[in-house]
A and B are shown apart, each in its own frame.
Chain A
């Protein structure tokens, strides 16, 4: 039986410093985050500095394929020396490799992922403003919410989903691969050109930023030979009950609808997988070239070879999944996918977008990033009589992802909103109420100076006169407002809180 599809999203942002060539991306990312922390908004105790991330449970080298691990594994290194902090909304804000990265708090619904992803954008904007005050003259930090420099260097937007441990990993691989390859038709953020060797001018514009950077079907890597299904087995939860599927194939979306669908359709797919209703889902014959082909096919009509010798298009496979999700929700309701409000929204938008893609994709210019870009670039090419190889188009392609107010084109193309400004502003500092992120965020707000460190599944407290106390949070669905809201309200000190938690 399926478990609730608790989820979150991690975004690595592109970063440059204009007007100050001596800044490298690591120091610029550190400046960005430290400048935000120093504002004291949603982040720190101003007496002791940022709340540290606790690395004790990090094991990104653990491989879901267990026995095969030593043969394939190239465990990611953990960079414990770089800026790494926890925010009062339950998020993590840190320097990863040479990029600033924000991981949203754990949430139950796709709609909440959209809210916290937008809040992360606002945190980045505040960070740019704070950092620029520390730079000399006209120098400024500029952040891009994208996934590639178009020169072969990619960085990730990763999704995470809570899965039950007992589902055989082979089943997860088959279903996830089919979904990830075909969902590109609505998750793609669009890209001018192609970064795959040998494809050159044959692909003037494609659906996704990421497809060109995937070389393997399954594996542990994230930085080279990237796999469609990543096997990192680091549940950040009770490992006997759960796994966390770490999804690395997605694009960074600027459209709220695209983020909603990227996460929401995946919630439905994994819940249906665990309920055993996808056993006859189409299995792709050769996923990696198929992933490239789907991204490169603007007509959405390419037949994809399946393992049983037949073919389907990406759109047909998504229509099948969408129909199954509607039928599944009829009997199972929406509890496992974050409730009715978000679940119905996902189903409605999924159907509407697939219908639009089947008839005239350009009708979705207010919902789907690659369509919004294509419409703008087509109009630009018509006005200026230029080809796809014009540098101005490549510049526009980057500027779509520019997060500066007034510069970012995504904010100007008329993308439909799902969230409100008020809820996004609130989500910068306030945690979600229905996962353990509530406990993390509230504790940081209320007992800031007593929190020594925090991570996804524990918090370390210093009560003053006792040894440090670690409070484990191995169950992601506990520590909610319903569970601990009154307890937190009634506890004036950490000692009070720990006494009540222990009793």
Chain B
């Protein structure tokens, strides 16, 4: 029980490490945004023409 209490509250040192390991710099953020914009442009071409019919007609039998 005592051990579990410890686990539930990560130590401050651990939190510091977390911040260092996950840097979010503005440049990377911009690159990601332009990637997703390009993808959205492309998706408009790739997307099934009648989304409603496509979604309705995707019927599978159960398996396993």
Interface residues of A (CB under 8 A from B): 12, 14-16, 25, 96-99, 101, 144, 148-151, 153-156, 158, 222-224, 226, 248, 280, 282, 306, 308, 310-312, 316, 319-320, 352, 355-356, 358-360, 363, 365, 375-376, 379-380, 383, 391-392, 394-396, 398-399, 406-407, 409, 412-414
Contact = CB atoms under 8 A, between A and B. Distances in A.
Contact of B7 (A12, A150, A320, A392): A320
Nearest to A282: B4
Given A151-B59, A376-B36, A391-B51, A312 B64 contact: no
A149 B59 contact: yes
Contacts of A25: 60-61
Q: Which 10 A-B pairs have the closest CB atoms?
A: A155-B63, A98-B61, A395-B51, A222-B64, A156-B64, A149-B60, A391-B51, A391-B52, A97-B63, A394-B55
Nearest to A281: B4
Interface string B3-34: 11101101000000111011010000000100
B4 A312 contact: yes
B55 A12 contact: no
Contact of A310 (B1, B10, B59): B1
Given A151-B59, A399-B46, A379 B40 contact: yes
Nearest to B28: A363
Given A308-B4, A312-B4, A395-B51, A153 B46 contact: no
Contacts of B10: 316, 319
Given A365-B32, A396-B47, A409-B43, A280 B59 contact: no
Given A308-B1, A359-B19, A399-B48, A97 B64 contact: yes
B44 to A, nearest CB: 9
Contacts of B42: 412
A391 B63 contact: no
Given A97-B64, A306-B4, 19 more contacts: A149-B60, A153-B61, A155-B61, A155-B63, A155-B64, A222-B64, A308-B1, A310-B1, A352-B21, A359-B19, A379-B36, A380-B40, A380-B43, A383-B40, A391-B55, A394-B55, A395-B48, A395-B54, A407-B46
Contacts of B59: 149, 151, 153
B62 A153 contact: yes
Contact of B60 (A153, A248, A306, A359): A153
Contacts of A282: 4
Interface of B: 1, 3-5, 7-8, 10, 17-19, 21-22, 24, 32, 35-37, 39-40, 42-43, 46-48, 51-52, 54-55, 57-64
A358 B54 CA distance: 37
A312 B40 contact: no
B39 A412 contact: yes
B60 A99 contact: yes
B60 A158 contact: no
Contacts of A153: 59-62
Contacts of A98: 60-61, 63
Given A316-B7, A319-B7, A359-B19, A392 B47 contact: yes
Contacts of B54: 395, 398
B12 to A, nearest CB: 14
Most buried by A among B5, B10, B37: B10
Contacts of A320: 7
Contact of A395 (B18, B37, B55, B63): B55
Contacts of B43: 380, 396, 409
A14 B47 CA distance: 18
Nearest to A393: B51
Contacts of B60: 14-15, 25, 98-99, 148-149, 153, 155
Contacts of B40: 376, 379-380, 383
A311 B9 CA distance: 12
Nearest to B49: A395
Contacts of A413: 39
Contacts of B4: 280, 282, 306, 308, 310, 312
B7 A360 contact: no
A99 B51 CA distance: 23
Nearest to B14: A319
B5 to A, nearest CB: 8
Most buried by A among B1, B43, B48, B60: B60
A192 B37 CA distance: 21
Most buried by A among B36, B43, B54, B64: B64
28 contacts: A12-B64, A98-B60, A101-B63, A144-B58, A148-B60, A150-B55, A151-B59, A153-B61, A154-B62, A155-B60, A155-B61, A223-B64, A320-B7, A355-B22, A358-B18, A359-B18, A360-B22, A360-B24, A376-B40, A379-B39, A391-B52, A391-B55, A395-B54, A396-B47, A399-B47, A406-B46, A409-B43, A413-B39
A101 B61 CA distance: 14
